[in-house]
């Protein structure tokens, strides 16, 4: 649920930033202001960074969902993370066998 909220916030921030980019670019072109146009391009890179973060959050969520759905399949691939969580005795914090 937390990832869904983060994902939604990143999407809203991306859209809001991109709208601001368009407005600032239009204002910069209308006013012949190189600083406004330059800042619009800067904000466009901010939009790309937000979209990259959104992509990372969704990728992580998809991976977590896949891992929770088929743990036995991962175990056959000898994934150390799954092996450690499924075979280590409860209460053993040092990971010794
Ligand atoms: Zn910035």
- The range of the structural domain enclosing residue 64 comes to 2-87
Q: Is residue 97 part of a domain?
A: no
Show the CA angle centred on residue 65, arms to residues 61 and 66, nearest 5°: 120
Q: Is residue 13 part of a domain?
A: yes
Contact call for residues 59 and 53 (beta carbons, < 8 A): no
This prediction's pTM? 0.65
**Measured in angstroms, how far is the CA atom of residue 14 from the centroid of ligand 1?**
12
Three-class secondary structure assignment of 32-65: CCHHHHHHHHHHHHHHHHHHHHHHHHHHHHHHHH
Q: Is residue 94 part of a domain?
A: no
Structurally, how many domains does the chain consist of? Answer: 1
**Measured in angstroms, how far is the CA atom of residue 17 from the centroid of ligand 1?**
10
Give me 41's structure tokens: 């391009």
Q: What is the pLDDT along the chain (97 residues), one digit of tens a residue?
A: 778 899 999 999 999 999 999 999 999 999 999 999 999 999 999 999 999 999 999 999 888 888 887 766 555 666 666 666 665 555 555 554 4
């Amino acid at each position: 649920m937390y990832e869904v909220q983060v994902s939604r916030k990143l999407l809203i921030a991306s859209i809001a930033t991109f709208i601001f980019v368009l407005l600032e670019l239009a204002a910069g072109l209308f006013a012949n202001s190189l600083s406004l146009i330059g800042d619009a391009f800067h904000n466009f890179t901010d939009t790309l960074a937000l979209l990259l973060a959104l992509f990372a959050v969704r990728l992580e969520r998809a991976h977590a969902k896949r891992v929770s759905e088929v743990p036995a399949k991962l175990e056959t691939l000898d994934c150390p993370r799954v092996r450690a969580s499924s075979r280590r005795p409860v209460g053993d914090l040092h990971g010794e066998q």
